[in-house]
Structures are given as C-alpha cells and as structure tokens.
Amino acid sequence: MRFNTFLTATFLSAIAIGSIGCEKVLNEAPYNAFTDESIFTTPERATLALNGVYDAAQTGGPSLAGRGYPFGAANVQQGDCRGEDMINVAAFYQITYQGTYNPTSANNVAFWDNTYNMINKANIAIDGFRRAGSSNIITPALATQFEAECRFLRALGHHEMVTHFARPYLDGNGSQLGIPYRDYPVAGSAALDRLKTEPRPTVAFDYQQILADLNFAEANLPVTQTLGPLRATRGAAIALKMRVRMHMGQWDSVRFEGNKLIPASINPLTPSAATSLVGGYSLTPTPAGSFGLPGGNSITAENIFTIKNDPLDNGSVNGALASQYGSSDLSGRGLVSVSPIIWNNTRWLANDLRRTTLYRQGSTNNGTSVATGQAIMTTKYTDYVGRGDNNPIIRWAEVLLMQAEAEARLSVGTVSQRAIDLLNMVRNRASVSPATTQYTVSSFANDEEEIGAILLERRIEFLAEGKRWADIHRTSRDPIVNLRAAGIPAKIPNGTTGMGQYGFGLAVNAAQPAIPYSDFRFIWPIPVGEVTQNPIIVQNPGY
C-alpha cells in the first residue's frame, strides 16, 4: 500500500468509518462513531467492523473514492477495457483501453490503493476478532467465521491484484515477481517499518498464500448466510479456489474442487435442474434471470458471491455499472459498448437468447456528443438512476465452465463427454433449440478444439462482467500453443463505437494494434508512491 497520510493515520478509525458506510450496504442499524479501543468490545460493534471490510471491498479508500474500487464496479470496467470484446467509446478508460498507463495513472493507482486499503481493514478486523473471541466478547466460533470472511476477501483482493500487476503463474511456474501479500495489520510505525524490509515475493508465493486463505475460508465459512451471496460462504471459497487453480494451470485440482460442488449426474438439456452439492446454486431458466431481470440485482440462485450496491452507496455516476455501461437513451452514460469483434463471431449462434435479452442497440457518449442507435450496449445492469446494481463476482455458470475446461484439459488427445455436458449446460440455456444446436463429441476434431469452444463460451457468457482480462492473462503462456493469447489483442480504436461493423459474420477492422506479451505494457506499473516511499518494492520493468 502507499505510504501516505491516509494510510499512516489511525487504521482502527478507518475500520469504524468503513463500518458506517457498510451500515447502508448490509442494512445494519445506525450507530455512533467509536474510538479505536472500543471497536471490538461488543458483538454488535464487531459485526459492524466486519461490515466495514465488505464496504471497503465495494468502494472507498484513498484514490478515486466512490468510484467502485475495487469490487463495487471497477474490477468489471478495468477487466473489460483491458480486453478486446468491449469498446471504450470516450476518454474515461482510454489509458486502460490503449495501454498507455504509467506509475501515476489514476485508474491503476486507485486499484492498488483501494485494494490494499480493503486488505488492511481485513487484517485489522482479523486481529480484533481474534481478541474478541479469546475474551468471549463474541463466541470463538463466530470469531473464526468472521476471520474466514475477511480471509476470503483478502484472497479475492490479492488475486485480482496479481493478475494486473504481475506476470501469470504459467510464466516460469510462478517464478516472476508478484505483489506484496499483506497478512498482518498496518496500524503504526512498527508495521510500516516491517513493510520496508519485505521485497516483492514471487507469484508462486502469492498463490500459496491465496490458497491458504481460501482453505481456511472453506473450512470455517457457513454453507449459507442470511444475506445470501452478499456474504462469503463455503461454496464461494470453493469456487474461488477453482478460479485460482485454473490460473495456476493445475487442472486436477480444479476438478477436485469442482467435484465438491457439481453433481455427478447432469442433463445438459435441463440446465436449471442441476443443483450444487454445497449451497444449492443452480442456473436460472433464462440468461436474463441470472441478473434478476427484469428489475435486476443479481441475487438469484445462480449467484455465489456478489458485491452489494444500492442507491445510497454505490460507485456514483463515475463508477456504477449501469451508469458506465448503460445506453444514453436509458439515462446511462454510454461509455462502454460491445465490440463487433465478439458480436460478429459466427461461433456465437445468431439466435442465441443472450443477444436479444442482455444487449440492445443503444446510444453512446463519445465525450463530445451523444450518438443515437450507434452501438450494442449491455442491459445486464439496469438501475440507471439509482445505480444500485450489485456486482456478480462469482456465478454458477463460471463454476460449470471452469469444470468443463478442467475436464477437457485433462482429457489429453481425446474429446471429453463430461466437458461437453458442462459446456452445454451454459450454452443450452441460451439456445432456442438446444436439442439440435448443442455440442456433441463429433463437434470437435480434438481436445484443443473443445477447449477453444469453452474459452469462447466464457467470452460470450461473461461479456460485460470484467472477466476477459483474467482469461487473457492466464492463457498468455498457455501450454497449448494454438490456444495461447499472444498478448493484449488488437481492438476497435478507442473513441469509436464499431458503428457500421456490426453484423453476424461481418469482417471487423480492429485498427488499434495488439500489444505482445513480451511488451512491458502487458502488466500495470507499481504506483509511484509505493516505489518512492518504499524503495524495496521494485518497479515492473519498462516503467
């Protein structure tokens, strides 16, 4: 984290401030501000401290506060704009979209600052919960559960950071420089001095710590929470472990974790009938249903972990999902649209229900004027005025596709029927005639084609959900050369909308050049405040 006035101030006070914000987020009763010493002295105050950590995960911190950093909305927008399947049609995410960031760029600095702010609040809370549990202020069991929730959020934050600021695990089996893994509270000069003795660890070390946090979370989180997917659960920890193992290329471990959740017997022609073994997750009958549409809020049977937004506490007009992605004629800002690169792809069925129920022809704002009917815009987020759309971090569809990829990658040289069934679970839900359009073994000549179809389905299913960058990052060193991402792909130029290029199978002019994996711009720079005030943290090469 940056060593500035904000972070060297009293961190326990920051927990209290965060709790006040989260009172709105998680519907806790109002309360007065507490002194540092009193935060963990009653069960109610301990709960509010936990809420403060969730609030820090949603929005708030030293940089671009109120814009949804890290997980209120920013992870979606940054993850999309680093890839090629969404277009930045204004100047808002231009630095991210074009790869012109530097150590002082606001967006990546804000991601660093706000994520470490959340992590530090989690660490302070963990320390407080342990004391409260040992003093019987709260039961030891509840103290352990609260710690597990904080460790889940800590793992989520560190993993998001390592995909932006470090090379992928598969580049040298984790031997590249990672990001600082903070697992202790920074609340005074001694902790700050300790930070200055700790250089950047390896990516492998980061992943080791992430998995340790998630193993603890799985062992100590409840199967369900009264607030559903707005709080971490056992199923969420397992699903996040699948994602982490996927980035490590450890497909046997992905399958092991997935088998804890996915029934052995599934029927891809009745995709919503399969219910998870932990948590009761299932696909909604329609693609729009997974977002709670019409109306929207992403609190459905499909949502495993979701970050709460509401009209009182959200990413503001400068960060909220519906504001950024919503069409101007629907009171959104129209800043990010769907790219013809994915929209025109003929392997995405022309009559796929997602095309008509989750997207529409809409209006964008290119910074100087509003253009009507010139782009394809998402309708996954619909609270254009209140900006209260929740952010779906992990959905059941992702679990199914991660397991499909694991099965396919483990079936070296052959096509996996289990992988096809899991892939079809997601794809069939969006098909008007699944019995005739679903994949079969004969659809693929080999396992590489099958894996390619799964990777494409991820691009389609999670379009406008911010997951594109993570897939580009993890596949950039894919051992299957034909599936390897060469770097950041070529794109529709920034500031345009793709108008005139939309059309099923129509050729696309991706005139913004690709950035090869070998280029230093493939990963973000460490913020200047970090390397200036903590010289032991070395900068990424090239910056």
Asked if the bond preceding 493 is cis, omega within 30° of 0, the reply is no
Overall average pLDDT of the 292-317 stretch: 91
Q: How many helices (H) and strands (E) does the chain have?
A: 20, 8
The DSSP-derived string for 398-430 is: HHHHHHHHHHHHHSTTS--HHHHHHHHHHHHHT
pLDDT above 70 (res 180): yes
pLDDT tens-digit readout, 500-523: 899 999 999 999 999 999 999 999
Name which of 49, 50, 66 is nearest 319 in CA terms: 66
- Tell me which amino acid residue 481 is: V
Q: Which residues pair with 177 in a beta bridge?
A: 202
Q: Is 368 exposed, middle or buried (0-12, 13-18, 19+ CB in 10 A)?
A: exposed
Q: Are 171 and 72 in contact (CB under 8 A)?
A: no
Name which of 319, 336, 323 is nearest 59 in CA terms: 319
Amino acid 367: pLDDT: 58
Amino acid 304: pLDDT: 98
pLDDT tens-digit readout, 27-76: 343 323 344 557 899 999 999 999 999 999 998 777 787 789 999 999 99
Amino acid 172: pLDDT: 98
Give the CA dihedral 248, 251, 257, 263, nearest 10 degrees: 150
Overall average pLDDT of the 527-539 stretch: 94
Q: Which residues pair with 360 in a beta bridge?
A: 377
Amino acid 373: pLDDT: 67
**What is the assigned CATH class of domain 5-310+392-533?**
mainly alpha
Question: What band does 207 get if pLDDT is binned at 50, 70 and 90?
Answer: very high
pLDDT tens-digit readout, 331-347: 999 999 999 999 999 99
Amino acid 543: pLDDT: 98
d(CA 435, CA 505): 24
Overall average pLDDT of the 180-207 stretch: 94
The DSSP-derived string for 164-213 is: HHS--TTTTTTTSB------S---SHHHHHHHTT----BHHHHHHHHHHH
Question: What band does 205 get if pLDDT is binned at 50, 70 and 90?
Answer: very high
Long-range contacts of 93-96 (CB under 8 A, 24+ apart): 93/335, 93/336, 94/494, 94/495
pLDDT tens-digit readout, 132-143: 999 999 999 999
Q: Which residues pair with 337 in a beta bridge?
A: 87
Sequence ranges of the domains in the chain: 5-310+392-533
Overall average pLDDT of the 121-136 stretch: 96
SS3 label, residue 138: coil
